[in-house]
Each structure stands twice: as structure tokens, then as C-alpha cells.
């Protein structure tokens, strides 16, 4: 009998760049959306330079929770392929928690304004 292992959702993303230090302002185009509050930004075709970000100002439901898939779709719609400017905060697992803006507007505010609901983490 063969066993097949699949990566967990937390490790399936392609983002592998070193994380910026707390307080660092960094920017890039959104290249990957992992769930409703996690994404990667960086240059096209260079995942080794993509920074994995957990949005500091929005707490989406987990993908397997009610509303999780919708939250991911909303973040993808509002951010994928667009430029974000972020300020690094603390680290959380293999990502940086950061406050990010798009066109001068906080992403969390944008998601809530577009009907995004927050989870209970």
C-alpha cells in the first residue's frame, strides 16, 4: 500500500523570500492569495523574492470554515495583480504580519467595505 503525503495549506504557498524586519516598508504586486487574509507580493516569475504576508487589519475565516472560500475569492478579486505597500510587523509562522494599503487605502478597510466578514481567530 502506498501512502501519499500532501503539503498542509500553511506550507503549500510558493512564497520563499526572507521576511522583512519589523517596521520595514516594502511593496510589490500580489502574485498569490493563500486564503482570505494571506497573500504573497513580489516580482513576476520570481517566487524566491515573493514575501508572504498575513494582513494585520483583517481576520478572515479559515478556508474550511463558513465564509472562508468567499473571503479568499474577495481578497483575490481586490488584490491579485495589484500593487500593495506594506509595513512589516511581527512574524507569524513563516510569514510577516503587515499593514498593507492599495492606492492609499488599508486592505482591511477595503475588504470590509466590499462585504468581507471576519472570522473568530
pLDDT tens-digit series, residues 3-62: 443 333 444 678 999 999 999 999 999 999 999 999 999 999 898 999 999 999 999 999
Taking residue 8's Cβ as centre, other Cβ atoms within 10 Å add up to 7
Smallest Cα–Cα separation from 84: which of 72, 101, 109?
101
Residue 77: alpha-carbon gap to chain centroid? 13
Per the listing, cell 477595503 goes with: 110
Measure CA 112 to chain center. 15
Model confidence, pTM: 0.84
Q: Which domains does the chain have, with CATH numbers?
A: 13-113 (2.40.50.90)
Q: Which of 7, 11, 27, 31 is nearest to 102 (CA)?
A: 27
pLDDT tens-digit series, residues 43-52 = 998 989 999 9
Amino acid at each position: 500500500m502506498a501512502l501519499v503525503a500532501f503539503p498542509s495549506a500553511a506550507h503549500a504557498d510558493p512564497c520563499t523570500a526572507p521576511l522583512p524586519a519589523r517596521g520595514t516598508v516594502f511593496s510589490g504586486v500580489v502574485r498569490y492569495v493563500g486564503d482570505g487574509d494571506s497573500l504573497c507580493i513580489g516580482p513576476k516569475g520570481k517566487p524566491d523574492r515573493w514575501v508572504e504576508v498575513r494582513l494585520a487589519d483583517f481576520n478572515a475565516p479559515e478556508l474550511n470554515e463558513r465564509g472562508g472560500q468567499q473571503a479568499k475569492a474577495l481578497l483575490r478579486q481586490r488584490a491579485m495583480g495589484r500593487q500593495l505597500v506594506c509595513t512589516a510587523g511581527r512574524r507569524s509562522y513563516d510569514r510577516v504580519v503587515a499593514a498593507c494599503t492599495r492606492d492609499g487605502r488599508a486592505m482591511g478597510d477595503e475588504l470590509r467595505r466590499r462585504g468581507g466578514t471576519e472570522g473568530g481567530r
